[in-house]
Amino acid sequence: MPDHHAHEVMQLMADTGDTYTRESFARSLADHFGPDARFCSCCQAGMSSDDLLVFLFDRGKLSGEIDGTFRLGRLGHCGHDDHHK
C-alpha cells in the first residue's frame, strides 16, 4: 500500500477547518485513509499518524500544542508545486 503524502493530510485539515487532539487527529486519519495507512513527505516515508504529527509540528505546519489542541497553521502549506497527486 503506498504512503499518503503529508500534502493530502494538510489539505484534509484545511478543508475541514477542524481543531484536533492527538487522539482525534489519529482517528480522523484512520477514518479517511484507513487504519493501517502510512504517510510520507517530500523527505521522509513510512510515517505513522503520530510520526506525521510530530513531523508537521517540527516544521511549523500546525499551530497549538501537540499534547493539547491544534489545527493547521498559517504555514501549513508547502511553498513548492504539489506534484504528488
Q: Write out pLDDT tens, residues 11-27.
A: 999 999 999 999 999 99
Mean pLDDT score, 68-73: 96
* Cβ pair 61, 72 in contact under 8 A: yes
Q: Write out pLDDT tens, residues 45-69.
A: 999 999 999 999 999 999 999 999 9
Q: Write out pLDDT tens, residues 35-44.
A: 999 999 999 9
pTM: predicted TM-score of the whole model, two decimal places: 0.86
Q: What is the CA radius of gyration of the chain?
A: 12
- Where residue 83 falls among pLDDT bands split at 50, 70, 90? very low
Pairing of strands 62-64, 39-40: unpaired
